[in-house]
Amino acid sequence: MSAPEPFGTRLRRAMDARGPLCVGIDPHPSLLTAWGLGDDVAGLERFAATAVDALAEHVAVLKPQSAFFERFGSRGVAVLERTVADARAAGALVLLDVKRGDIGSTMAAYAAAHLAPDAPLAADAITVSPYLGYGSLRPALDLARAGGRGVFVLALTSNPEGAEVQTAVTAAGPTVAQTVLDRLREENAAELAAGAPLGSFGAVVGATVGETGADLSFGGPLLAPGVGAQGATAADLPRVFGSAVGQVLPSVSRGVLRHGPDPVALRAAAAREAAEIARFAGSGA
């Protein structure tokens, strides 16, 4: 049996074909209300299904935020399972935003829940937190590599509180964030040496963080939250990401979802976002 195609290769192809855009599926109570839905499982299910039906055949990546499903308990998690499966079946790559971070067998269990091929909540990629030590992520990194899936590691996040940890200087000299980025470079080296256009191991770097001074040329994708409601624009991307801007996958949630529940309006909003982002962060930038 041949090895599965790496996530980074699939992501690059999707970004080139559909535009470099990730749309979050965030069933926030205010959005459910704005769509005329109840803040309950029925509303959650309608919201998620509408977003998938409208967008999964058109955008490169859909990013369900697990917490907004989990708050409804087991029935909400069941909706999340269907959302992930339906989005992938319709042709979108699914990045499940779970930000897992633990040690040993617990991290291995989280990895199995979201990256094992037969797991009910298996996604194309997940977000993880390295702040119990980058090495604690090894079970997820190894399982992702074996299965052709991806991992996005928090590095320089868009929330202001993140800076107190992420910009701290380590005993070895680099910042904590740069240490994470350097480790990701090592993670991607084998894929890139084999000719992959993009590594499968990415970083989360907020579009609102400004000029970071960090070396972002680690060969993997850069998930960039913060475009839209959080204040960043597509025009900010070259300033934040510099020569790595072609690797950027901006994430937009409310900027698209506020146009629902009309599927045509959702698709039009996503198309506008993708076109504007491609002007500044397309693969040819």
Active site amino acids: 99
Alpha carbon separation from 133 to 136, 139, 145, 152 (Å, rounded): 6, 13, 19, 15
Q: Tokens in use for 12?
A: 């690059």
* 96 φ/ψ angles, rounded to the nearest 5 degrees: -85, 120
Please write down the HEC assignment for all residues of the chain: CCCCCCHHHHHHHHHHHHCCCEEEECCCHHHHHHCCCCCCHHHHHHHHHHHHHHHCCCCCEEEEEHHHHHCCCHHHHHHHHHHHHHHHHCCCEEEEEEEECCCHHHHHHHHHHHHCCCCCCCCCEEEECCCCCHHHHHHHHHHHHHHCCEEEEEEECCCHHHHHHHCCECCCCCEHHHHHHHHHHHHHHHHHHCCCCCCCEEEEECCCCCCCCCCCCCCCCEEEECECCCCECHHHHHHHHHHHHHHEEEEECHHHHCCCCCHHHHHHHHHHHHHHHHHHHCCCC
Alpha carbon separation from 257 to 16, 48, 83, 227, 254 (Å, rounded): 23, 11, 16, 13, 5
The answer to whether the CB of 245 falls within 8 A of the CB of 278 is no
